[in-house]
Chains A and B, each alone.
Chain A
Amino acid sequence: MHSKKAPLGLTIAAFGTLLFLHVPMLIIFLYTLTPDETTYTFPLPGFTTKWFGIALQRADLWRSLILSLKVATIATIIALILGTLAAAAVYRSNFFGRESISFLLVLPIALPGIVTGIALRAAIGGFDIPFSFWTIVIGHATFCIVVVYNNVLARLRRTNPSMIEASMDLGANSFQTFRHVVLPNIATALLAGGMLAFALSFDEVIVTTFTAGQQTTLPIWIFSQLNRPRDRPVTNVVATFVILITFIPIFLAQKISAESSDTEGENK
């Protein structure tokens, strides 16, 4: 711990960065309250909360929201299963090409979404698979797997391997060992990875644009509102809602990761 105060310049820079990052979001929130339905004028010409009510009654909005939640949930479940299996394989065995596989697994998150998107579209089109709900899920799973994989692999690497041997030594077979020893030890990593994956999927636009058929996920719906300035404050209401729904899992995921790395060292 050091209580030395940061220099003034640094403090200003830090606050400046925070403002730069978050003022636009405040503006969005501010304009959920404007009575003016087409343009952004400042100061607000008045004050109303009617857009929240209107947003609630928009059927297209609800359809998009439910679709987005469904896609994010299923993509997360797929990512949890495949990501964990991949991490376990890479952790346990030392096969030829292990590092390359690890690299290939992580690549989708580093690649620009537009590349992933166009690649997926070409592949899906090439195989004559109809664009549907499931093609969106598959598109999202490509980058959701990565966050689960990374989280779980990092946790496994910090797990004492003789713990697994101890479990087998005490009579547990592989399945029992996974259930009673491995799973409890990676549980927080799964939770953190899963929530990150959910948040990533929930606000994804680019890959979705390429892999969706007629479906409109919530971010796509917001995007489409740009061309239809009517009821603009409704978009702001939705944006605010998206910020909240993304904020919660990210916040929790960070908290979980921080806590588990705090307690990790104690058992070494």
Chain B
Amino acid sequence: MSNPPSTPAIKFEEVSRHFGEIKAVDQVNLEVNDGEFFAMLGPSGSGKTTCLRMIAGFDKPTSGSIYLYGQDVSNLPPYDRNVNTVFQDYALFPHMTVGENVAYGLMIKKVAKAEQTKRVDEMLELVQLKGFASRKPSQLSGGQRQRVALARALINHPKVLLLDEPLGALDLKLRQQMQVELKAIQKRVGITFIFVTHDQEEAITMSDRIAVFSQGKIEQVGSPAEIYERPASAFVAGFVGTSNLVSGEIAKRITGSEKTFSIRPEKIHLTTTSPSADMVSLDGVVRDVVYLGLYTRYLVEIEDGVDLVVIEQNLKTTSMDVLSAKGQKVKLSWHKDHISYLEA
């Protein structure tokens, strides 16, 4: 890499994008490192797609600056920045063959024909579509179109590749397969990938780091494990997986502090034995039981109106066993390390 490792691939400096009264993106600061597989995760309307469109150049920040490897690109048109996009609906050109689609960027740059053909072949091989060059996009399946879109973007050796909900239109099996494959392709080409998704599982599976968006702001940036195990806010705790939030008096009784904390349902155990010193122990009544095959979800009331969700794997129990737990008194316990205090 010609860029010093300290220069971030993408840097947002106080970036805002307002549409009239609506603050789609509100004073966002962000750094994406060179060679990273970076996810922008959030519900729809959280500003993640607007951020992606501003990196691509389809939209301009109302204020603030965006840097691509140190160069201020905030006001450059899309065709003057070395960034390429894989669109959610792939946006393949229907009147061109797969080969012509992939070669489009090279054709615009007036690269010699022989060179074009050679690189198109390389790209189609990379995305496992060797021999598809003369087909039309309409003759391809959804997954194949996605690969063409990927090849068409990567052939230009962009500094950063943007992916807008790249797997959204695919069915579950194909999606899981493409998750693995995208990751492998990214490793192979060594380009910084930034992808937008609303699917927390997808973000956790593929990315090196995740930025969680909510209402135009970034709630937390961190590795998947950090995001999951140490959510910084109630929003992150609720959006990434499910979580129990405990606050106020009960929190004080458990931890000695009124600070709100989160505890993941799978970290809580239903026990009968007395816990050791580094474990939290609580009494409760099982209010509801949902048998889900692989695991069972319990709703346990620990105080009037305060319920905790508990998930236990069905390692030894049968559905008859778990369902009979309803209405019974139980002991809950979890390791103190699994308590995560929220920042705000």
Q: Name the residue of chain B whose CB is nearest to the CB of A264.
A: B94
Tell me the bound Cα distance from A165 to B94 in angstroms.
Answer: 14
CB < 8 Å: which of B58, B91, B94, B156 contacts A171? B156
A168 within 8 A of B: yes
- B57 contacts which chain A residues (CB < 8 A)? 168-169
CB < 8 Å: which of A167, A184, A185 contacts B104? A167
Interface residues on B, range: 20 to 34
The 11 sampled A-B contact pairs (Cβ below 8 Å) are A162-B89, A163-B92, A165-B58, A165-B91, A167-B104, A169-B57, A169-B83, A170-B79, A171-B109, A173-B79, A263-B138
Q: Name the residue of chain A whose CB is nearest to the CB of B139.
A: A266
CB < 8 Å: which of A162, A176, A267 contacts B87? A162
A82 within 8 A of B: no
Distance in angstroms from B105 CB to nearest chain A CB is 4
- A172 contacts which chain B residues (CB < 8 A)? 79, 104, 108
A interface list, Cβ under 8 A from B: 160, 162-163, 165-173, 176, 180-181, 184-185, 263, 266-267
- A169 contacts which chain B residues (CB < 8 A)? 56-58, 78-79, 83-85, 153
Nearest 5 Cβ contacts at the A-B interface: A266-B138, A166-B91, A162-B91, A170-B105, A168-B78
B152 within 8 A of A: yes
Contact code string B85-112 (vs A, CB < 8 Å = 1, else 0): 1011101111100000000110111000
B248 within 8 A of A: no
Beta-carbon contact of B89 and A170 below 8 Å: no
Beta-carbon contact of B78 and A165 below 8 Å: yes
- A185 contacts which chain B residues (CB < 8 A)? 94-95
- B265 contacts which chain A residues (CB < 8 A)? none
Tell me the bound Cα distance from A168 to B76 in angstroms.
Answer: 12
Tell me the bound Cα distance from A185 to B85 in angstroms.
Answer: 21
Q: Name the residue of chain A whose CB is nearest to the CB of B87.
A: A162
CB < 8 Å: which of B94, B138, B152 contacts A170? B152
Distance in angstroms from A146 CB to nearest chain B CB is 26
- B35 contacts which chain A residues (CB < 8 A)? none
- B104 contacts which chain A residues (CB < 8 A)? 167, 170, 172, 180
Distance in angstroms from A162 CB to nearest chain B CB is 4
- A165 contacts which chain B residues (CB < 8 A)? 56, 58, 78, 85, 87, 91
- A173 contacts which chain B residues (CB < 8 A)? 77, 79
Distance in angstroms from A131 CB to nearest chain B CB is 44
Tell me the bound Cα distance from A184 to B97 in angstroms.
Answer: 13
Q: Name the residue of chain B whose CB is nearest to the CB of A173.
A: B79
Tell me the bound Cα distance from A163 to B152 in angstroms.
Answer: 13
